[in-house]
A and B are shown apart, each in its own frame.
Chain A
């Protein structure tokens, strides 16, 4: 039995409204965005499915939309914004570009990986100095693999840097 209905309700079906990004899928496939600061209530509509059992023992799942209001009493960042937990911005006034931050972090990590690759190569050299040529060779092979991975990240980064 399948049916759709719209209604206001409160429900006890556990689903997580407290750890989510701005856009998140529900079972019904409806994605939605919202932003909020901690410590307030807000309403939003979404579609999702609840399995339930009727008195006659028939259990079924049907999608439905509903609007509900729920309070939040916590601080968190939305919209993919990885900003500070203590951020007091209401997001609408925030000029942070989440994409720019992702690119900045990617750039940092690519550089960081390159520095680590150099450090590992130096360690390989020290292994050779202490007479372990085999380990030196293995570490240098690992460094080579590491650099290949980092090269791949660099390629992604270059693509991310192309203005959309």
Chain B
């Protein structure tokens, strides 16, 4: 619903990956983030949590099998 800020591993300022994220796509172990300006960031891992009221998404590296 709202734009999100995406963090790697945990929600800490230094872990911020991208702000104003409007699209998140997950495929083949890669999370692709697109912000409102169309900038794209790719992170290897998976979505650990998405707080849709807080506008916060956390991506964590995929655990080894």
Contact string against B for A residues 79-109, beta-carbon threshold 8 Å, 1 for contact and 0 otherwise? 0001111100000000010001100110010
Whether the Cβ atoms of B36 and A84 lie closer than 8 Å is no
Report Cα–Cα, A108/B41, bound state, in Å: 20
Residue numbers in B under 8 Å from A108 (CB-CB): 3, 22, 36
**B13, B14, B16, B37: which contacts A104 (Cβ < 8 A)?**
B37
Whether the Cβ atoms of A85 and B37 lie closer than 8 Å is no
A112 at the interface (CB under 8 A from B): yes
B9 at the interface (CB under 8 A from A): no
Q: When A82-B19, A84-B18, A85-B14 are in contact, do A96 and B37 touch as well, CB less than 8 Å?
A: yes
Whether the Cβ atoms of A101 and B36 lie closer than 8 Å is yes
Residue of A nearest to B2 (CB): A112
B17 at the interface (CB under 8 A from A): yes
Query: Majority SS of interface residues in chain A?
Result: loop
Report Cα–Cα, A83/B13, bound state, in Å: 13
Interface size class of B (residues with CB under 8 A): 10 to 19
Residue numbers in A under 8 Å from B37 (CB-CB): 96, 100-101, 104
Residue numbers in A under 8 Å from B35 (CB-CB): 84
Whether the Cβ atoms of B17 and A83 lie closer than 8 Å is no
Residue numbers in A under 8 Å from B20 (CB-CB): 82, 101, 105
Report Cα–Cα, A151/B2, bound state, in Å: 20
Cβ contacts A to B, 29 pairs, < 8 Å: A74-B14, A82-B19, A83-B19, A83-B39, A84-B16, A84-B17, A84-B19, A84-B35, A84-B39, A85-B13, A85-B14, A85-B16, A85-B17, A85-B18, A86-B17, A86-B18, A86-B41, A96-B37, A100-B37, A101-B20, A101-B36, A101-B37, A104-B36, A104-B37, A105-B36, A108-B3, A108-B22, A108-B36, A112-B2
